[in-house]
Structure 1
Amino acid sequence: MIDSSGPVRRPERPADAPWLVVAVVRGAALLVVLPARVLWELLGAGVRWTDRWLLTPVGRFLERWLLRPVARLLRHLLWVPLVWLGRALVRLARWLVWLPLVWLARGLAWLAYHLFWRPVIWLGRVLAPVFRPLLAGLIAVLRWLGRGLRGIGAALWAAVRWAWWAAGRVLLWTYVVTLRPVVLAVAWVWRTTVRPVGRAVAAVWGATVTPVVHWVQDTVVAPTRAVVRDVLAALGLRRRP
């Protein structure tokens, strides 16, 4: 708020710069900026004039009288003959390679059918009465072999089961004869010796060492810690709680 008891002071305005400094600065700016701007405008005008009256007409002339005729000439002299040659090579390959291969495959199939497959069918029909008993005997032998292998597998499985049972019995007997007495002895020693000794040591520790530790904690450690805390707080090294 403005105090109305006294006159209001206005901020002092800086003194105006001397007119000579202002004139020198403006003249330097004109000498530096004006020639650069004039050169920039002249350069832009030169570029525009060159593009309009030189580059564009020359480009149109080259496109119309050089590039287009050269492209047409290359199209008729290179592209069209290459397309025609490619089509001719495809047709020639069809007549000279593909069709002979097709005819050869058909001929080989006809020969294989008439020279191999039909004789095999005829031979199978002729030898069928002879091969049927042989086939039946072979099937019977295979069945007998299957039964034998099944019996051998059952015997092996029974042997494995018996071995597993025997191993379990041996392990159980070993545990009962050797390990169980050791376990019982260790449990008896623990129950009759280690546990009472541990309880006696705990009682002696609680009666002798624990009170001393509590007394040292209450009479020495706690006061010392409080004094150190107060000294550090007084020195500004620690905040007071």
Structure 2
Amino acid sequence: MDLDKPPAPQPPEGCLVVALRLPVRIVVLVLVVPVRLAWDALVAAGRFLHATVLRPLGRALRWTGRALFVLPFVALWRWVLVPVGTALRWLGHVLIVAPLSWVHVHVLIPVGHALRRAAGGVVTYLLAPVGRGLVWLARGARALLAAVGLGLFTGAAWLARYLLVVPARWLYAHVLAPVGRGLVWLGRGAGTLAAAVGLAAFAGAAWLARYLLVVPARWLYAHVLSPIGRALLWVAEALVTGAGAVLYWTARILFVLPALALWRWVLAPVGRVLAVVARETADALGHAWRVAGHLSRVVGRALGTLFRWIFVEPARWVYRAVLTPVGHVVRDMVLRPAARAAREVGRVTRLTLAAARETLRETRRDVRRALFGEPRRQAGVDRREPPARDPRTLGGSTTVLTKD
């Protein structure tokens, strides 16, 4: 970044900007200064309230809520619900689970095993033989019914063959087939004749329709309707074009040109003026807010100085010039002698109590000696370490046989 680079040239300002800037800034400053002072006062009051009222109140409410809601519920859960739940679980286990387990193990399982064995015996020795007998009877009945049915079916088939099928075949071969062939031949001839007649009628009708309808219609379309349509289309296009041009110029003269003149000679200058006023007002607001901040700081410092001169400095002077010497005098004339006297009284009391305890011990010792005699003294035990032996030399020995 080039530090020596000159600042970018500002666009030249017009006389209107220069003329509006100072009055606008003065008016805005007059309006903004009270607002900034009130805002700073509210901020200071809010901080003071937050530090001195709201935060302690919040802590008190939190402690109160904890003491009123959390701790009772915790105590209720810990000392009431948990023991009651444990007791109920133990009672349920003792009164329900254990009896049911005993019944299941010692009653239901043996009964189930017995019923299973009984059912197995019934199935093996009763139901199985009966079922086998019923199966054998069913097989015999099925064979008998099959034989009877086969005989009946064979007889019915023979009767149907010679009473129905053979006569029907003879009737079809000698009567119905020749009659059907004749009817088919007659139908084919009638169809061919009808097709020829219909084709001739269609050809004649088509020729008549062509020369009576299609050819005149084509001539009418080509020589009459088409020129008339083109003429009508040209007239319509001319009318639409003329009407469009008339409407265009009418709308242009009545709406566009006045709107353009209004925009160019009224709205654009007014907009520029309003833009200048708005920009200068915004700049003035920012400048006034900053100036009001400085003024608010000055006022705050002045009020702080006044408060310090009116309250703090007198209080400091009273504390330093009055309370401190008085405190020193009270400390030197009253508190220290009182503390010294208290220490002396304590020392004398301790000595007196020590002498009284010693006298009591002596009296108790004398009474015990007078009643029970002198206590027996125990033999003293030598708790010293044994003496060290002589060091071993080359000419001496520590064994019994070679000891000098």
1:95 and 2:98 correspond: yes
Q: How many angstroms apart in 1 are the aligned matches of 2:50 and 2:153?
A: 102
Q: Deviations over 1:168-221 (max 9, x none)?
A: x8xx97976778855753442132x22101101111222333221121111101
1:13 and 2:15 correspond: yes
Residue aligning to 1:43: 46
Gaps of 5+ in 2: 1-11, 243-404
Q: How many angstroms apart in 2 are the aligned matches of 1:183 and 1:225?
A: 55
- TM-score, normalisation: structure 1: 0.65
1:30 and 2:33 correspond: yes
Q: How many angstroms apart in 1 are the aligned matches of 2:219 and 2:62?
A: 109
> Which amino acid in structure 2 is aligned with residue 31 of structure 1?
P
1:55 and 2:63 correspond: no
- Report the CA distance shift for 1:11/1:33 in structure 2 as closer, same or farther (over 3 A): closer
- Report the CA distance shift for 1:115/1:219 in structure 2 as closer, same or farther (over 3 A): closer
1:189 and 2:194 correspond: yes
Identical-pair percentage = 15
Matches within 5 A, 1:135-214: 135-145=135-145, 181=186, 185-191=190-196, 193-214=197-218
Q: How many angstroms apart in 2 are the aligned matches of 1:121 and 1:153?
A: 42
1:112 and 2:115 correspond: yes
How many residues matched? 215
Q: How many angstroms apart in 1 are the aligned matches of 2:70 and 2:62?
A: 10
Q: How many angstroms apart in 2 are the aligned matches of 1:122 and 1:49?
A: 99
- Report the CA distance shift for 1:147/1:88 in structure 2 as closer, same or farther (over 3 A): farther
Match of 1:26, SS?
A: helix
Deviates more, 1:137-146 or 1:116-125: 116-125
> Which amino acid in structure 2 is aligned with residue 82 of structure 1?
G
1:215 and 2:219 correspond: yes
- TM-score, normalisation: structure 2: 0.42
Residue aligning to 1:5: none
- Report the CA distance shift for 1:189/1:30 in structure 2 as closer, same or farther (over 3 A): same
Q: How many angstroms apart in 2 are the aligned matches of 1:60 and 1:11?
A: 64
Residue aligning to 1:85: 88
Higher RCO structure, 1 or 2 (CA under 8 Å, sep 6+)? 2
Match of 2:48, SS?
A: helix
- Report the CA distance shift for 1:199/1:149 in structure 2 as closer, same or farther (over 3 A): same
CA apart distance, 1:60? 4.6
Matches within 5 A, 1:121-136: 121-123=124-126, 128=129, 135-136=135-136
Q: How many angstroms apart in 2 are the aligned matches of 1:112 and 1:43?
A: 87
Q: Deviations over 1:97-129 (max 9, x none)?
A: 34224433234324435655435534469xx5x
Task: Let me know the Cα RMSD of the aligned residues.
Answer: 4.3
From 233, 236, 239, give the equivalent of 1:235: 239
Match of 2:59, SS?
A: helix
Gaps of 5+ in 1: 1-9
- Report the CA distance shift for 1:133/1:62 in structure 2 as closer, same or farther (over 3 A): closer
Q: Deviations over 1:34-85 (max 9, x none)?
A: 3134214412431243344342256357647984476235412221221232
Q: How many angstroms apart in 1 are the aligned matches of 2:134 and 2:56?
A: 105
